[in-house]
A and B are shown apart, each in its own frame.
Chain A
Amino acid sequence: MKITLVKKIFADGSLCKKCREVEDKMRATGQLSQIDRIVIADEADDQSEGMLLAAHYNIDRAPFFIVEHEGADPVIYTIYFKFVKEVLDAETSEEEELAEIINDNDLDFL
């Protein structure tokens, strides 16, 4: 299994808030060591590797994770808590999962 983390930097070079929070959390819990590659999606450069990956996989938010198994199509995770629960077998709380879903998805008018 190969895991790639794509994180976004703004045009001014700063890291997006959620990307920073996710990376900090993964570092603190040791999860970052299970990431094989970290790729930058540079908002100022649509040819940066992360932006090209986002375009290829039709992903419109960061961070996201690409999980590759030999002989299978890559699986993309845009929800951090879903990724760590399903791929890294980490324990997560429902409150954290819901907070991330509602922050990242425009579900206000359902």
Chain B
Amino acid sequence: MSALPNIVDLDTQLATQSPQEIIRYALESFDNIAISFSGAEDVVLIDMAAKIGKRFQVFSLDTGRLHAETYQFIETIRKHYSIDIDVVMPEASKVEQLVKAKGLFSFYEDDHKECCGIRKIAPLRKQLLKVDAWITGQRRDQSPGTRADVPVIQDDKAFARPNESLTKFNPLANWTSKQVWDYIRENNVPYNALHDQGFVSIGCEPCTRPTGPGQHEREGRWWWEEATKKECGLHAVNIAK
């Protein structure tokens, strides 16, 4: 049995590295690699990659429901770094079917997953078929519980092309929100104007709200849904035998 020791070893090795070192490793290892930019504080990935000076692609998932500020911010970043940003949109017919069947705010009555599936995950999957590796701004501290195990590098089995592999890098996995913001301030990185209005986490307009002092950023997203535990995780429990 010899599958994936490299990824596991690499994760162990890269876990002690800085986000900049992880991004450098990613860009040097893959020519066909893209940064997923949500229009929020993951802008630091673009800033770090730009300073490394190697070629990289950037895409943003435009769900059609983003804040005006986010669209403006994506444009600001495109110009600031002189980069192309693939703004990826959902399939219009799928959105139309959803809206016709369930209205424009079905996520408040069901949950956000069906809408996210059509507006975000389907376009993401289509986009990831084009690359060999991708970089996200996912951090462990974003969703205590579900993200406790976000690795720095992983074999992305969900979005890989058939019979091929896709490598996913999460260079900010070990950083806290404070470290990200320290970087933004110290490096004068442009940021989304919504952050000055109390938004910590930024997603679609109907599904995002500002959070107050002491609130976790997860409380600013899908607040009407009960946080659900993912029961299919494989973690041995300590049971006295």
Contact = CB atoms under 8 A, between A and B. Distances in A.
A101 B158 contact: yes
Query: Most chain-A Cβ atoms within 10 A of its Cβ — which of B7, B138, B157, B234?
Result: B234
B233 A60 contact: yes
A101 B232 contact: no
Contacts of B159: 101
Interface residues of B, number: 47
Contact of B113 (A43, A46, A94, A103): A103
A53 B1 CA distance: 9
Interface of B: 1-4, 7-8, 36, 38, 61, 113-114, 116-118, 120-122, 124-125, 136-138, 142-143, 146-147, 149-150, 155, 157-159, 162-163, 201, 203, 221-222, 230-237, 239
Query: Most chain-B Cβ atoms within 10 A of its Cβ — which of A53, A78, A109?
Result: A109
Given A57-B3, A94-B122, A62 B117 contact: no
B157 A79 contact: yes
B138 A104 contact: no
Nearest to B113: A102
Contacts, number: 119
Given A57-B4, A58-B4, A109-B38, 6 more contacts: A8-B234, A41-B234, A75-B163, A102-B117, A106-B230, A108-B203
A56 B3 CA distance: 8
Contacts of A107: 116, 120-121, 124
20 contacts: A17-B231, A18-B231, A43-B234, A58-B4, A59-B234, A62-B232, A74-B1, A82-B158, A99-B117, A101-B117, A104-B158, A106-B143, A106-B147, A106-B230, A108-B116, A108-B143, A109-B201, A110-B36, A110-B120, A110-B136
A98 B7 contact: no
Interface in A54-106: 54, 56-63, 73-79, 82, 86, 94-95, 98-99, 101-106
